[in-house]
Amino acid sequence: MKRATLRDVAQAVGVTVATVSRALRNYPDISPATKQAVLAAERLRYAPHPLAVKLRQKSCRVVGAVVPQIGHPFFAGVISGIVDAAEARGCHVILSQSDESYEKEIRVTQRLRATGVDGLLVCLSDQTVDVAHLRDLQDYDLPVVLFGKISPALDASTVVTNDFQGGYDATAHLLAQGLTRVAHIKGAAHPENTRQRYAGYRAALAAYGLPLRPEYVAECQRVAPAEGFACARQLMALPEPPQAIFAVTDAVAIGALAALGQAGLRVPQDVALVGFSDWAVCELLDPALSSVARPGYEIGQQASELLLREIQQLRDGQPVVHEHRVLAATLRVRQSSARATAPAS
């Protein structure tokens, strides 16, 4: 069925398009009579043409969002937050993924600009170092907000998890139970967040007056169960094995859990265990896995809000203020790290 335009309605009512437009947008100076007439005609088959309106207003009320992987559970949560916050303010979200590829990140950001968005939300790919492609967007007067994985090289608002505090809390929780031999399975050096978790681990040890024992720090390159398995086995083979393990990731913790089980060690009685990310499976495992939850949904929400605020500021000709938010990670204590009795050191 063919859609009606303003002109169709105008002809039907016997006025000009301007009048119809005004009637529809509730302008003050409009006679009740014509308003009635317009409304009557309008209900039949009229809807404003979105593109025409947007061209006129020079704003499309759409933002672009780029994540490394849409399917990753963390990003799925972030996207949910982005969409909810954007829709709450009358905007829509176009979604793209970079597949953790620098080249694709460049491609999709360019294409988002070309398709017409009012701003972009970007989580940098692991490969990304140079951010010239994002600076290019800013040159086009498109605000960019970074979240998750960010870069100090870009002058933009950012929203991230407090991985340091998460690592600190996880470790301190173990130490607070009187355990002194607490090990850490850390991730590779590169992604900043795993480094922060390790830093939090060290800070907690220091806060409890304990030295960092290098043999208690195992490292895995890929944060996968197989590597967690190997690291845990290695740790438990030490002459003085740890009483607890803080793993950089749930995947790693799950691998460690398997290794401990195979070694005939009980969790948490023999070894307490804490993971990171709080995957949905944590509470389904046996024993349920303690973990540090990353506020994915909130990160998405706040990034969305910051971006929309900047877009508004740009439209209003106000100065655009950047903001850097660091959201708390939340330790969720479950069976795997909750000892019935806190043994003496």
Closest CA relative to residue 311, chosen from 91, 114, 49: 91
∠311-317-322 over CA atoms, to 5°?
50
- C-alpha to C-alpha distance for 109 and 128, rounded to whole angstroms: 13
Stretch of residues binding its own copies (CB under 8 A), selected from 71-79, 147-155, 233-241, 306-314: 71-79
132 binds, among its own copies, DNA, none (CB under 5 to 8 A by kind): none
Between residues 81 and 241, which has the closer beta carbon with respect to its own copies? 81
Q: Give least dist CB 68 to its own copies, A.
A: 11
- Judge contact between 224 and 255, C-beta under 8 A: yes
Q: Is 308 near its own copies (CB under 8 A)?
A: no
Question: What contacts 132, CB < 8 A, 6 or more positions away?
Answer: none
Q: Is 141 near its own copies (CB under 8 A)?
A: yes
Stretch of residues binding its own copies (CB under 8 A), selected from 84-92, 179-187, 211-219, 317-325: 84-92
Q: Is 44 near DNA (CB under 7 A)?
A: no
- C-alpha to C-alpha distance for 206 and 213, rounded to whole angstroms: 11
Stretch of residues binding its own copies (CB under 8 A), selected from 94-102, 163-171, 184-192, 195-203: 94-102
- Selected from 1, 29, 90, 344, the binder of DNA by CB under 7 A is 29
DSSP states of 247-288 as a string?
A: ESSHHHHHHHHHHHHHTT--TTTT-EEEEEE--GGGGGSSSP
Which residues inside 266-305 make contact with DNA, applying CB under 7 A?
none
- H-helix or E-strand spanning residue 57: helix 50-57
Q: Give least dist CB 345 to its own copies, A.
A: 31
Q: Is 35 near its own copies (CB under 8 A)?
A: no
Stretch of residues binding DNA (CB under 7 A), selected from 28-36, 152-160, 195-203, 221-229: 28-36
Q: Is 284 near its own copies (CB under 8 A)?
A: yes
Q: Is 251 near its own copies (CB under 8 A)?
A: yes
Axis crossing angle, helix 163-175 with helix 192-207, rounded to the nearest 10: 40
- C-alpha to C-alpha distance for 307 and 115, rounded to whole angstroms: 18
Axis crossing angle, helix 6-13 with helix 17-24, rounded to the nearest 10: 100
Q: Is 19 near DNA (CB under 7 A)?
A: yes
Q: Is 142 near DNA (CB under 7 A)?
A: no
Q: Give least dist CB 139 to its own copies, A.
A: 5
Q: Is 51 near its own copies (CB under 8 A)?
A: yes
